[in-house]
Amino acid sequence: MEADFVVVGAGSAGCALAYRLAESGASVLVVEHGGTDVGPFIQMPAALSYPMNMKTYDWGYRSEPEPHLGGRRLATPRGKVIGGSSSINGMVYVRGHAHDFDTWAEMGADGWSYADVLPYFQRMETWHDGGHGGDAEWRGKNGPLHVTRGPRANPLFDAFVQAGKQAGYELTDDYNGHKQEGFGPMEQTVHKGRRWSAANAYLRPALKRQNCDLVRALVEKIEVTEGRATAVVCAGGKRIVARREIILSAGSINSPKLLLQSGIGPAAELAQHGITAHVDRPGVGKNLQDHLELYLQMASSQPITLYKHWNIFSKAMIGAQWLFTKTGLGASNQFESAAFIRSAPGVPYPDIQYHFLPMAIRYDGKAPAEGHGFQAHVGPMRSPSRGEVTLASADPAAAPKIQFNYMSHEKDWEDFRTCIRMTREIFAQDAFKPFVKHEIQPGADVQTDDELNGFIREHVESAYHPCGTCRMGRADDPMAVVDPEARVIGVDGLRLADSSIFPQVTNGNLNAPSIMTGEKAADHILGKTLPASNAKPWVHPNWETQQR
C-alpha cells in the first residue's frame, strides 16, 4: 500500500488535511484505528454525554494520580472513531482570541499570528448567524465546516447574558468575530440538526474522490530510513509507504506517543524502554496543557429547566423527534450562551470562559437531588501548569502515561477562587432574581479561601482541551518539535498537524483551532499560503485600569 501522502489519524486536523491534499490531485491514504461514526449517539447533538463515555468511541485514557488534586485520576477522553474527538466533543465552536495567535508567533511560531490564521478560519467555515447578528465580514461563507447557533429559546440563556451586562461586563454578538470579550450567544458545529464533525465536513467529501482512501489500522510506529520518514508500520506488520510525506494527526496524546514509539524524542527516556533514538528531541511529550473547569449550580425556582425532560418518556420523545425530523431539543448541544471575561485590571484580553447550561447535571450524567436547576461552567484559560505525556512501556498497545500537573501553581488556585466569586456575583444580579432559588454547588456556606480550595480540589474537572505536547517553534529551539511549517525537526518527509503543536493553549475550546491547523498545514505542504488579513480585533480600551 502506498500513496503520495499518508495521514495518520482521521480527527479534526487529519480530516481537513485529507480534504485539502486530495483536492490538490495528490493521492492520500488516511489511517484510522477507530470505527464508524454512524449512529444516533454521535450524530444527535443533545446525546453528547454518551459517546465520550463509550469504549467503542473513546481511547479511555486517564491521567496519572494528580498530586495537587489529592491523587485523583482525571478522565482524558480522546476520540477513537472516524472524526476523532470532533465526533465525541461538546460541539462548541471557539476560534480563540486574536492575542493567542500573536503569542504563538512571539513564541517562535512564525507565520501563525492572528493576521496569518484568520484567513484559514474564514476559509474553513460556512457561518449561519440564524438572524442573531454577528460580524459577517470576519466569518467564512463557503467552507466545509458549518457553524450555527442554538435557538436560545429558554429564558435562562438571555438571563445569563443580561446578568453579565448588569454586573458591568461587555456584551458581544459574535465572540468569533471582531470582539471576543463579553457575554453573548454560543456557537456550535451543528448543521441541519446533526453533529457537524470533521468527518461530516471534510472526510466524507474527500473519500468521494478517486484519490483518497481510508485504511482501518492501528499505527505502531513511523519507519525512519537514513533520516527520512518513509512508511507507517501498523499492527500485524502492514506497511504503508508515503511517496511524498507522512503527516501525523493523531492528537495531543497519541501524536507524541507515536513519535516516542518511532524513536523520536528524549533519547534517555527512550533508552529506558529499549527504543533506539533516531532523533533526540527533548520536547516530545512535554509542555502538556489543558483547561480545567468547575460548574456552579443554582436550584431554579421555576420548572423551566431541561430537568423536565430528564425521564425515559421525554427522552424517547426528543429522540424520536430528532430521528425523524432532525429538530427539537435533540438538535442542539444546549450550550447556547457564553462569556469571555478578564479576571483583573491589567489583563489585556479575556482569561476566563463560561459555558451556560439550563440544567444542573454532572459530567457523568447525574442530576442533583434538587431537580430543577442551571449551571455555569467556568475556568481560567491560561494556567501556568505544565505536564507531560510519556511511554508506559515499549508496547504500542499500552496506554501512555499522562501527567498534567494540574493546579501546580499558586496562581491556579487564585484564578479559580476568582472564577467562583465572579460567578456568584453574576448569579446575584436582578436578571436571575425570578429564577434563583439557592446555590446547590459549592453551597452558600463555602466562602473562605480554604473552603473554596477544598471544593476546587475535589470538584475541578478537565474541559478536555489537552494540547501543546509537540510544540511548534523555530528550528533552532531545542524544545520545539515542529518548525513553523509543521515539519518534525530532524526528520525529512514527516510533518505533524494537530493540537499537539500549539505553543500555548488557546482561549476556549480546541476544535476550531485544531481544524484550522490542519487547513494551514495542508497549504504549507502544498507550498502555498493565503494572504494575511489586516483586520484589527477589539481590545478593551481601558484594560490596564479596569476589569470590566
By the 8 A CB rule, do 129 and 123 touch? no
Q: Is residue 495 a contact partner of residue 245, using CB atoms and an 8 Å limit?
A: yes
Q: Is residue 1 a known part of a binding site?
A: no
Kindly provide the residue ranges of all beta strands, DSSP E only, lying in 372-447, ordered along the sequence.
373-380, 388-390, 401-403, 436-441
117 is in an annotated binding site: no
Res. 106 pLDDT band, cuts 50 70 90: very high
Domains (range + CATH), the chain: 1-150+188-215+229-290+483-530 (3.50.50.60), 152-185+292-380+408-459 (3.30.410.40)
Burial (0-12, 13-18, 19+ Cβ within 10 Å), 226: exposed
Indicate the DSSP class of residue 487.
Answer: B
Distance, CA of 455 to CA of 463 (rounded, Å): 17
pLDDT at 363 over 90: no
Choosing from 68, 372, 465, 540, the catalytic residue is 465
465 an active-site residue?
A: yes
Would you place residue 366 in the very low, low, confident or very high pLDDT band (cuts 50, 70, 90)? Answer: confident
As a whole-number percent, the residues of the chain with pLDDT over 90 amount to 95
pLDDT band at 302 (very low <50, low <70, confident <90, very high): very high
- 297 touches 423 (CB < 8 A): no
* 233 annotated as ligand-binding: no
Alpha helices, DSSP H, located in 25-72: 40-43
Beta bridge partners of 5: 28, 245
Q: Is residue 190 a known part of a binding site?
A: no
pLDDT tens digits for 505-515?
Answer: 999 999 999 99
Q: Is 81 marked as a binding-site residue?
A: yes
Per-residue pLDDT, 134: 87
Average the pLDDT over 93-98 and give the result. Answer: 98
Q: 91 labelled as ligand-binding?
A: yes
- 449's grid cell: 479561601
Residue 53 has pLDDT above 80, yes or no: yes
Mean per-residue pLDDT of the chain = 96
Residue 146 confidence (pLDDT) above 90: yes
Determine how many CB atoms are found less than 10 A away from the CB of residue 215.
Answer: 17
Burial 16-44, CB ≥16 within 10 A → b, else e: bbbbbbbbbebbbbbbbbbeebeeebbbb
| CB of 402 closer than 8 Å to CB of 330 | no
CA–CA dist 218, 362 (Å, integer): 33
pLDDT of residue 52: 87
Q: Is the pLDDT of residue 364 over 90?
A: no
